[in-house]
Amino acid sequence: MSRIVIVGGGLAGLAAAVALTARGFPCTIIESRPRLGGRASSFHDPTTNTDIDNCQHVTLGCCTNFRHFCHTTGLAEFFRREPALYFVGPSGKIDRFAAGSLPAPLHLTGAFAGLSYLSWKDKYALATALRVLTRPVSEQDESESFAKWLTRHKQPQTVIDRFWFVVLVSALSESLERISVSHARKVFVDAFLAHRNGWYVDIPDVPLEELYGGRLTDWLTSRGTTIRLQSSADKIELENDRVTGVRLGSNEVIPGDEFVVALPFFRVLSVLPESLAARTELQGIKQLEPAPISSIHLWFDRPITDLPHAVLVDRLCQWVFNRTAIKSVQIRQSSAPDSNEDRLVDAFYYQIVISASHQLERSSKDEIQKQVLQELTDVWPIVAEAKLLHSRHVTEHRAVFSPVPGVDALRPVQQSPVANLQLAGDWTRTGWPATMEGAVRSGYLASSNILKRLEHDDAVLQPDLPTATLSRWMFGL
Ligand SMILES: Cc1cc2nc3c(=O)[nH]c(=O)nc-3n(C[C@H](O)[C@H](O)[C@H](O)COP(=O)(O)OP(=O)(O)OC[C@H]3O[C@@H](n4cnc5c(N)ncnc54)[C@H](O)[C@@H]3O)c2cc1C
């Protein structure tokens, strides 16, 4: 039996492990941190005595490989599908956005038409640009940012701020100036135009730690895969153009026959042997750039909204997730300022997500929190009366790679220049942006290459949702 070693227990490494383990090839996963999940993981919050996610992770209906990964491992039952999205316009009016009965690509026409914070003139400009965006990306498109494309296609500023920014910055975690036209096009085609179910948002009902640390760990280990946490890979060992093992920080060497290195792009080259890291095929990795995502976790003494989530338009806060709808918590509070006695009070937990949070780097936590609370008060005046019991701010400075024009040419394929070494990670060439879907795809592609080498030719990568007949006919998708 071939010994397969996977370095990195994020979703890319985990997906490779699941694909291989499911086919009877257990692996050894080496993860430097004390938990699995990588950028999609939780940490313990002592005040609430709960695991909270580094950031709310959501997935879309068009993410077919991530869904397959969850179905294979039994995680799918822990996701809740939102039947509608709630957009809160600048005036505070809430628009419910949901598919109608028409087939794709017309299923969301009514929902777009109903967005009260866009005028009919805005909607006409938006529809015109959306139609152009469905066309294949031209050379000129490829050379410019999506912000420039929008100006070239005469999009009014209100439409840019209230529509394009809202959808794309959430989906790609970058500012419009740093998004390529092809990545923007992919979001609209996959999520809104190609299939009726592409736009659905699925949200985990439990902390990410429960998914990857609990359920998935059990699934993998009960099938023979070994997970080594708190084991940091120092160097990949190469002999005669073949990887022979992974040297850990402790100097222990984990030998193997097939290897997957599923590390973040900013770490991978330091772990590869110099001769491999210098290969031309891998030089693009050095030019990948990171983008930050911030999340503000707030616990109030009362509910501030019944909505399961809200998309805030034209504000600093982009998404609000109502985590209380999922799990109630209690926080210890002193009864009175001069009392030593504590009592447990109910706490209502909301998480605010700010993608591409470059501008927050210049503000203090207090300033950010003040603005966030003011925005929440504008939408839900009860926030002014509510007591804030507890808060946490998390910024992941290297949350994703920036999908800038030309980025796909920098991303290497999973098969490395060394035959028994695969690369995986959301940043490898998958055609997808930095998402859980992109990470799972990369792990599936890497495992497919290994299965071929082991003469076990099996299709691992799952197909996209099929393109609706009318979408093909209207837009040639
Ligand atoms: C704040 C935030 C919000 C996000 N929101 C969403 C969302 O809503 N939807 C979505 O689809 N995606 C979202 N993403 C993106 C998504 O989390 C990532 O695309 C995905 O998790 C990347 O997985 P990965 O396996 O490629 O990389 P990683 O998760 O980075 O995994 C790499 C692993 O390697 C480990 N490692 C590093 N060095 C070593 C070493 N020397 N030895 C051993 N192990 C090592 C790391 O600890 C890590 O576990 C978000 C990301 C962030 C940060």
> 147 CB under 6 A from ligand 1?
no
Question: What is the tally of structural domains in the chain?
Answer: 3
Residue nearest to atom 12 of ligand 1 (CA): 435
Whether 336 has a pLDDT exceeding 70, the answer reads no
**Residue 105 lies inside a defined structural domain of this protein:** yes
Whether 325 has a pLDDT exceeding 70, the answer reads no
Same structural domain, 279 and 415: yes
The pTM is what?
0.97
Same structural domain, 283 and 409: yes
**Residue 92 lies inside a defined structural domain of this protein:** yes
Dihedral sign for Cα 309, 314, 318, 324, please: negative
Three-class secondary structure of residue 299 per DSSP? strand
Same structural domain, 397 and 371: yes
309: domain CATH number? 3.90.660.10
Same structural domain, 309 and 419: no
Give the bridge partners for 391, in sequence order.
298
Question: What pLDDT is attached to residue 55?
Answer: 95
Q: How far is Cα 231 from Cα 7, in angstroms, rounded to an integer?
A: 9
Expressed in angstroms, the distance from the first to the final Cα of the chain is: 44
Other CB atoms closer than 10 Å to residue 140's CB: what's the count?
11
Distance 7 CA to ligand 1 centre (A): 13
Tens digit of each residue's pLDDT (9 = 90 or more) over 164-176 = 999 999 999 999 9
Q: Please report, as a single letter, which amino acid is at residue 397.
A: H
234: domain CATH number? 3.50.50.60
Under 8 Å CB-to-CB from 447, ≥6 apart: which residues? 15, 16, 19, 20, 260, 422, 460
Contact indicator for 376, 402 with CB cutoff of 8 Å: no
Q: What is the DSSP string of 346-360?
A: EEEEEEEEEESGGGG
> 423 CB under 6 A from ligand 1?
no
Same structural domain, 309 and 445: no
Question: What pLDDT is attached to residue 326?
Answer: 66
Question: What pLDDT is attached to residue 418?
Answer: 98
Parallel, antiparallel, or unpaired: how do β-strands 27-30 and 4-7 relate?
parallel
**Residue 168 lies inside a defined structural domain of this protein:** yes
**Residue 444 lies inside a defined structural domain of this protein:** yes
User: Lowest-confidence range among 59-68, 215-224, 406-415, 455-464?
Assistant: 455-464
Same structural domain, 368 and 409: no
Which class for 87: exposed (0-12), middle (13-18), buried (19 or more C-beta within 10 A)?
Answer: buried
Locate the ligand 1 atom nearest the alpha carbon of residue 234 and give its number. Answer: 41
Contact indicator for 299, 390 with CB cutoff of 8 Å: yes
Tens digit of each residue's pLDDT (9 = 90 or more) over 4-46 = 999 999 999 999 999 999 999 999 999 999 999 999 999 999 9
Distance 424 CA to ligand 1 centre (A): 11
Same structural domain, 317 and 359: yes
Tens digit of each residue's pLDDT (9 = 90 or more) over 208-267 = 999 998 899 999 999 999 999 999 999 999 999 999 999 999 999 999 999 999 999 999
Question: What pLDDT is attached to residue 457?
Answer: 81
Residue to substitute in 56, 263, 353 for testing ligand 1 pocket (most ligand atoms within 8 angstroms of CB): 263
Same structural domain, 97 and 193: yes
Q: How far is Cα 410 from Cα 268, in angstroms, rounded to an integer?
A: 14
Three-class secondary structure of residue 418 per DSSP? coil
**Residue 460 lies inside a defined structural domain of this protein:** no
Distance 39 CA to ligand 1 centre (A): 3
Distance 354 CA to ligand 1 centre (A): 17
At residue 333 the predicted structure's pLDDT band, cuts being 50, 70 and 90, is confident
Residue to substitute in 39, 52, 430 for testing ligand 1 pocket (most ligand atoms within 8 angstroms of CB): 39
Tens digit of each residue's pLDDT (9 = 90 or more) over 104-163 = 999 999 999 999 999 999 999 999 999 999 999 999 999 999 999 999 999 999 999 999
Same structural domain, 283 and 419: yes
Contact indicator for 297, 320 with CB cutoff of 8 Å: no
Q: How far is Cα 55 from Cα 207, in angstroms, rounded to an integer?
A: 10
Residue to substitute in 57, 62, 271, 323 for testing ligand 1 pocket (most ligand atoms within 8 angstroms of CB): 57
DSSP letter for 400, please.
E
| Domain ranges, residue 362 | 290-401
Whether 459 has a pLDDT exceeding 90, the answer reads no
